[in-house]
Amino acid sequence: MNIQYLKPSSEDVPSKDFQCNLAGINHDGLTGGHRQANIRTLQRGQPLILVRNYDNPHDRHATLALSEAGKDVGYVPAHLADRIARVLEAKRAVTAVVDDVEEFTTSASSRLWGVRITITTWKAKPKPRTPSLDGRAN
């Protein structure tokens, strides 16, 4: 799988942070293996890569979270996916980091591992304004 994504440059500054739990964590991953097995390898502070999944029939804004090794660990939840998808499609950097990996019990009494992440969108650093010859800022 060829994954392309943008990293923030030295000219970028953080724009907005979002915290969320990944969705779709109890399914087979698109990159192979079951997501639960992939999730168990994650560590707090580990970066994740967010990429658009244009082939997802359930969500036209689907944004997949991958480990740096390319292992599928879940999706950005639908309530944030449209915002994150717009940033990615505008060719702006988006980063994500694992805040926590925690085991929990579902309402059906299944034990699963969940992932809480922080997503940061980035924008270009504003250029300093310089005064013009007439004394007004440009």
Q: Report pLDDT for 126.
A: 78
> Is the pLDDT assigned to residue 132 strictly greater than 80?
no
Residue whose token pair is 């390898």: 41
pLDDT at 39: 97
The residue range of the domain holding 73 is 12-124
Asked if 48 and 96 touch (Cβ cutoff 8 Å), the reply is yes
- Name which of 79, 119, 128 is nearest 99 in CA terms: 119
Q: Is residue 18 part of a domain?
A: yes
CATH no. for residue 57? 3.30.70.2330
Contact 31, 46 (CB under 8 A): no
In a domain, 129, yes or no: no
Residue pLDDT, tens place only, 47-87: 999 999 998 898 999 999 999 999 999 999 999 999 999 99
Q: How far apart are the first and last CA of the chain?
A: 46
Residue 132, classed as helix, strand or coil, is: coil
Q: Is residue 37 part of a domain?
A: yes
Tell me how far apart the alpha carbons of residues 85 and 106 are, in angstroms, rounded to a whole number.
Answer: 29
Report percent pLDDT > 70 for the chain. 91
Mean pLDDT of 82-105: 95
Burial category of 42 from C-beta neighbours within 10 Å (exposed 0-12, middle 13-18, buried 19 and up): buried
In the numeric block, which tokens belong to residue 120?
Answer: 């940061």
Q: Residue 2 pLDDT more than 60?
A: no
Closest CA to 39 of 17, 10, 71, 61: 71
Q: Indicate the SS3 state at residue 2.
A: coil
Number of domains in the chain: 1
Q: Which residue has the tokens 């168990």?
A: 40
pLDDT tier for residue 128 given thresholds of 50, 70 and 90:
confident
Q: Is residue 131 part of a domain?
A: no
